[in-house]
Structure 1
Amino acid sequence: MKTFLLTFEHGPNYQSEKSFYDQQDWENHSRFADKLFLQHRVTMCGALKDESKVIAVATGKNESSIRNLFKDDPFVKNGVLILSHVDEWELYLTPEHIDE
Structure 2
Amino acid sequence: MKTFLLTFEHGPNYQSEKSFHDQQNWENHSRFADKLFLQHKVTMCGALKNESKVIAIANGKNESSIRNLFKDDPFLKNGVLILTHVDEWELYLNPEHVDE
If the TM-score is normalised by the length of the shorter chain, which range does it land in? over 0.9
Deviation at 1:47, TM superposition (A): 0.3
| Alignment of 1:7 onto 2:7 | yes
Residues of 1 paired with 2:38 and 2:78: CA distance?
23
Deviation at 1:97, TM superposition (A): 2.6
Identity among equivalent pairs (%): 90
Root-mean-square deviation (CA), in Å? 0.6
1:24-59 Cα distance to aligned partner (Å, 9 max, x none): 000000000000000000000000000000000000
TM-score normalised per structure 2? 0.98
Deviation at 1:99, TM superposition (A): 3.1
Partner secondary structure for residue 9 of structure 1: strand
Q: Structure 2 unaligned segments of length 5 or more: list them.
A: none
1:10-31 Cα distance to aligned partner (Å, 9 max, x none): 0000000000000000000000
Deviation at 1:2, TM superposition (A): 0.5
Deviation at 1:94, TM superposition (A): 1.1
Q: Structure 1 unaligned segments of length 5 or more: list them.
A: none
Partner secondary structure for residue 4 of structure 1: strand
Residues of 1 paired with 2:28 and 2:34: CA distance?
10
Structure 1 residue runs of 4+, over 6 Å off?
none
